[in-house]
A and B are shown apart, each in its own frame.
Chain A
Amino acid sequence: MSENESLWLVEASKGDVDAFARIVEQYQKPVFNLCYRMLGNVEDAEDAAQEAFLRAFKSIRRYDPRRPFGTWLLSIASHYCIDQLRKKKAKGFSLDDEENSWRAPEASSPKPETVAIQREHQAEVQDLLTILNPLDRATIVLRYWYDYSYEEIAKTLNLSISAVKSRLHRARKALAEQWKAKESQEKILNVERARHESPAF
Chain B
Amino acid sequence: MTRLSSLTLAGWVLLAMSGCPDEPGGRQQDAGIRDAGVPQVVALAASAKNELLWRRYRALEQGLANGLVIDESRLCNELGRFSCVEQVHLVALGGNDAFEQGLHEPVPEPTGSTAVAVERLVWSACVEAVNADAARAVRRVFLDLDLSEAAGPLDLSDQAQAWAVEDTIRNLYRQLHAREPIDAERQELMRLSTDDDGHPLHPRDFALLSCFAIASTTETVFF
Query: Do A and B assemble together?
Result: no
**B residues lining the A interface (CB < 8 Å):** none
**A residues lining the B interface (CB < 8 Å):** none
